[in-house]
Amino acid sequence: MHQILSKIESPADLSNLSNEQLEQLAAEIRDVLCSLVATRTAHFASNLGVVELSIALHRTFDFSRDRLIWDTGHQIYPHKLLTGRYDEFGTIRTTGGLMGYPNPAESDYDLFVTGHAGSSVSTMLGLRSGDDLQGEKDRHAVAVIGDGAFPSGIVFEALNNAGGMNANLLVVLNDNKMSICPRVGGVADYFDRLRMNPFYTGVKSEVLKILNHVPLLGDPTERLLAQCKEAVKAGLHGGMLFEELGFSYIGPIDGHNIGLLRKYMEMVKTLPGPVLLHVVTEKGHGYQPAAADPVFFHTPPAFIDDNGTVVPKKSGGAKAYTNYARDAIAEQMRKCDKVTVMTAAMCQGTKMEPVRDEFPHRFFDTGICESHAVAFAAGQAKTGLRPIVNIYSTFLQRSFDQIFQEVALQDLPVVFTMDRAGLTAADGPTHHGSYDIGYMRLFPNMIVMAPGDAEEVGEMLDFALLQDHPSAIRYPKANAETVERNRTPIGLGKAEVMSTGADGAVICYGAQLADAQRAVETLKSEGLNVGLINARFCKPIDRETIVGAVKTSPFVVTVEEGALMTGFGSAVLEACADEGVDASRVKRLGIPDTFIDHGEREERLAEIFLTAEGIAQVCREMAAKISSLHGDDSLTAGS
């Protein structure tokens, strides 16, 4: 069925294909992408948009030697298909299968594992510099970056450096007018103005005429260069920003015309110094519903196309933590007009569209600029506003220094709602929110919390907005349950003792509370009486309750969906050490000191015992261990 694609074992197999055959190849790649999203959620619209660009790049350069980085990495699928991974492609984003991002463990054509936006130009400049210093100047260096990723501060740091070094570097700007949501900000407006360039609109045909006379191969470099210069001069009055930074700006050009892309790439391949090639593509190109609604089709749920009607395979389902957080934020914004909210280009993922629409003047999308978003929030807080920074745990890592200096050091009441805190399943190690407990609890003044169930999301936000200090609330990419109990109100640094047990205690920090409760119920039915504490706060930690439990319980199991190192369990051990309490009977469950692969969330959680059965099993083991230490089997389940 995929007559050409199925025979592509490496990009070298493209070398004899004509433009017509390459177009046929593009259609086959799109067919594979459409079949994939019928089975599972995957990055769809972005990949549809770069099919021709991927083909042209691999047809022009030799990335077995030249260097290629796809910024962010979510648009890597056509590249994977062209670099020998067609047969395995159906496994992408599943346990043990291909990663949904570049992965050097899969292929030498993938240089870095990436998933966070904005670093490609810096990394490519490093590769360029390394190759130059080691006598490998012939290796070309190409970074492809989207218009959504482009405004990240680090990109401008890299452009600045590359321009100063006059490095031979090609930056391909893939401009599809979209981030996940429509792109925002001054750089977006600038790109729009560049599209108005007569080169792209009016006189494009004139420039094309010149380029049509540039033979593709076997031409003396000088002639090619001379012609290129003319073409560049003829067409380029835009791109001054890049020109001023020392880049040659070329474009914009149609990113779905393989022949044209190849001509330009041949041309820029030999241009000296840093070059920015502006390529215009359509997100979702080739599948009309995706082109019409690229936001939904960024990572759509698995769906079937019924004669042009998109029918999701699953619909509805329980309400996620994200939705509870969104609703709580909206409620606070309705109650108080000092409350504002920031997203760093993740309005869709955090389900904030209704908030954006209801409060257009208090909703701020900074673009993919997390560090800026935090410093911006600090400024607002200083004026008396109550900003909520609503960013995924993993992306907030970008703001570590602003959390330190602009927020914590000034003791400003910025509230961080950290979504995707925990394992994020199919996206894998770049996206797991593993480290926020550590990087938040590190700073003086910071209040660090995790809701144990759905209701606590709103309660904690309410509490956080009443504090005159910075605070952070973390929750995972999961459905939120309600844990039935006599609820106690949130109090600063107070844990909630849900039950006590003579045989041991589970102390849960965050969303595993429902599983922990199921575990203690199972254990009870087996004759093991284990108490349950909902920690609520990692900082300030409830020393009285938690250290007290360690002192008095035969064993304690701490539970958190975060890195063990620096995490909640570590905070418990530190508190015990400070109080001179023996913590040798404390067992910590959480994310071990290793990067967790992509795969089903439930599977990954089960591997690290963060399920009801896992928690119960560890309690049984602890009970057995304690019994054997005491030469007594009274603590063993079932005895």
* Closest CB 422 distance from ligand TPP, rounded Å: 17
Report what 398 binds from ligand DXP, Mg ion, ligand TPP, none; CB cut-off 5-8 Å by kind.
ligand TPP
DSSP state of 403: I
DSSP string, 257-313: -HHHHHHHHHHHHT--SEEEEEEE--TTTTSHHHHH-TTTTSSPPSEEEETTEEEES
> In this complex, which beta carbon is closest to ligand TPP, that of residue 118 or of residue 501?
118
> In this complex, which beta carbon is closest to ligand TPP, that of residue 45 or of residue 571?
45
Q: Are strands 309-312 and 339-343 parallel, antiparallel or unpaired?
A: unpaired
Work out whether 294 is an interface residue with Mg ion (CB under 5 A).
no
Rounded alpha-carbon distances, angstroms, from residue 324 to 303, 318, 336, 425, 508: 25, 11, 18, 20, 20
Q: Which residues lie near ligand DXP (CB under 6 A)?
A: 43, 72, 74, 115, 298-299, 349, 420, 424, 427, 477
DSSP state of 301: P
* Closest CB 431 distance from ligand TPP, rounded Å: 8
One symbol per residue from 376 to 405: x for binding ligand TPP (CB under 6 A), - otherwise; what is it? -------------------x--x-------
Work out whether 371 is an interface residue with ligand TPP (CB under 6 A).
no
| Structural tokens at position 353 | 């569209």
Separation between Cα atoms, residue 543 and residue 619, nearest integer Å: 22
- Is 578 assigned a ligand-binding role in the annotation? no
Report what 420 binds from ligand TPP, Mg ion, ligand DXP, none; CB cut-off 5-8 Å by kind.
ligand DXP
Work out whether 345 is an interface residue with ligand TPP (CB under 6 A).
yes
| Contact predicate 598/95, CB 8 Å | yes
Has 496 been annotated as catalytic? no
Report what 387 binds from ligand DXP, Mg ion, ligand TPP, none; CB cut-off 5-8 Å by kind.
none
Separation between Cα atoms, residue 590 and residue 569, nearest integer Å: 8
Has 398 been annotated as catalytic? yes
| Structural tokens at position 81 | 């298909």
Work out whether 558 is an interface residue with ligand TPP (CB under 6 A).
no
Work out whether 149 is an interface residue with Mg ion (CB under 5 A).
no
* Closest CB 429 distance from ligand TPP, rounded Å: 13
> In this complex, which beta carbon is closest to ligand DXP, that of residue 424 or of residue 553?
424
Separation between Cα atoms, residue 615 and residue 324, nearest integer Å: 26
Work out whether 148 is an interface residue with Mg ion (CB under 5 A).
yes
> In this complex, which beta carbon is closest to ligand TPP, that of residue 29 or of residue 541?
29
The identity of residue 482, as a single letter, is T
Work out whether 46 is an interface residue with ligand TPP (CB under 6 A).
yes
* Closest CB 302 distance from ligand DXP, rounded Å: 13
> In this complex, which beta carbon is closest to ligand DXP, that of residue 72 or of residue 168?
72
- Is 188 assigned a ligand-binding role in the annotation? no
**Among 146, 255, 422, 562, contact with Mg ion (rule: CB under 5 A):** 146
Has 106 been annotated as catalytic? no
Q: Are strands 471-474 and 415-419 parallel, antiparallel or unpaired?
A: parallel
| Contact predicate 411/445, CB 8 Å | yes
Separation between Cα atoms, residue 253 and residue 256, nearest integer Å: 9
* Site residues (CB under 6 A) for ligand TPP, limited to 53-82: 72, 74-75
Query: Among 382, 432, 434, 439, which Cα is nearest to 416's?
Result: 439
End-to-end CA distance of the chain: 63
- In degrees, rounded to 5, the angle at the alpha carbon of residue 58 between the alpha carbons of residues 302 and 199 is 95
State the SS3 of 148-160: CCCCCHHHHHHHH
* Closest CB 424 distance from ligand DXP, rounded Å: 6
- Which residue's C-beta sits nearest to Mg ion? 146
Report what 587 binds from ligand TPP, Mg ion, ligand DXP, none; CB cut-off 5-8 Å by kind.
none
| Contact predicate 504/526, CB 8 Å | no
**Among 180, 184, 373, 610, contact with ligand TPP (rule: CB under 6 A):** 180
> In this complex, which beta carbon is closest to ligand DXP, that of residue 22 or of residue 50?
50
Q: Which parts of 224-293 are beta strand (E)? A: 248-254, 274-280
- In degrees, rounded to 5, the angle at the alpha carbon of residue 618 between the alpha carbons of residues 615 and 620 is 110
* Closest CB 286 distance from Mg ion, rounded Å: 16
- Which residue's C-beta sits nearest to ligand DXP? 349
Residue 539's SS3 state is strand
Looking at the DSSP assignment, which residues form a beta bridge with residue 559? 508, 589
Work out whether 147 is an interface residue with Mg ion (CB under 5 A).
yes
Q: How many residues lie near Mg ion (CB under 5 A)?
A: 5
**Among 121, 149, 211, 583, contact with ligand TPP (rule: CB under 6 A):** 149
Q: Which long-range contacts (CB under 8 A, 24 or more apart) does 149-152 make?
A: 149/71, 149/72, 149/117, 149/118, 149/120, 149/179, 149/368, 150/187, 150/191, 151/183, 151/185, 151/187, 151/188, 151/367, 151/368, 151/369, 152/117, 152/118, 152/367, 152/368, 152/369
* Closest CB 508 distance from ligand TPP, rounded Å: 29
Work out whether 139 is an interface residue with ligand TPP (CB under 6 A).
no
Looking at the DSSP assignment, which residues form a beta bridge with residue 563? 591
Enumerate the known binding-site residues for Mg(2+). 147, 176
Which residues contact ligand TPP by CB under 6 A? 46, 49, 72, 74-75, 115-118, 146-149, 176, 178-180, 283, 344-346, 368, 370, 395, 398
Which residues contact Mg ion by CB under 5 A? 146-148, 176, 178
Q: Which residues are catalytic?
A: 283, 370, 398
Enumerate the known binding-site residues for thiamine diphosphate. 74, 115-117, 148-149, 176, 287, 370
